[in-house]
Amino acid sequence: MVSSIISAPFVPLLYIRREFRQDRDWSYRQALTGALMKACLSVYVALRLKPKSSLSLKPCWEGDLFVTIEPAPTDLYTGITVHDKIHPETIAGTWFPSLYQYNTTTNQDKHVILHFHGGSYIIGDGRTSSSKHLANSLLENTPTSHIFSLQYRLARNRATRFPAQLQDAIAAYSYLIHTLHFPTNRIVISGDSAGGHLALSLLRYIADYDDETVLPPPTCCWLFSPWCDVPGALKQRLWDNIPNTQTDYIPASFAAWGAKQIIGNIELSRENEGYLAPIWHPFVLPSPILIVSGGREVMCQEHDRLARYLGKLQQNEERVKFFVHEMLPHDILMVAWLMGFQKEADQCASKAGNFLSQVLGASDDSEVPCVAFERQ
Q: Concatenated DSSP letters for 192-213?
A: ETHHHHHHHHHHHHHHH-S-TT
CATH topology of domain 60-375: Rossmann fold (3.40.50)
- Residue 343 sits at φ, ψ, to 5 deg, of -60, -45
The mean pLDDT value of the chain amounts to: 90
- Residue 2 sits at φ, ψ, to 5 deg, of -60, -45
- Residues 370 and 365: their CA atoms lie apart, in Å, by 12
pLDDT at position 31 is 95
- Residues 353 and 111: their CA atoms lie apart, in Å, by 10
> Which element (helix H / strand E) includes 111?
strand 111-116
User: Which DSSP category does 179 fall into?
Assistant: I
What's the pLDDT tens digit per position in 134-193? 999 999 999 999 999 999 999 988 889 999 999 999 999 999 999 999 999 999 999 999
What's the pLDDT tens digit per position in 240-295? 888 899 999 999 999 999 999 999 988 889 889 999 999 999 999 999 999 999 99
What's the pLDDT tens digit per position in 42-55? 999 988 766 666 79
Which amino acid belongs to residue 295? G
Q: Is the peptide bond before 163 cis (omega within 30 degrees of 0)?
A: yes
Full-model pTM: 0.93
For residue 14, is pLDDT > 90? no
Closest by Cα among 230, 246, 312 to 278: 230
Closest by Cα among 305, 314, 157 to 232: 305
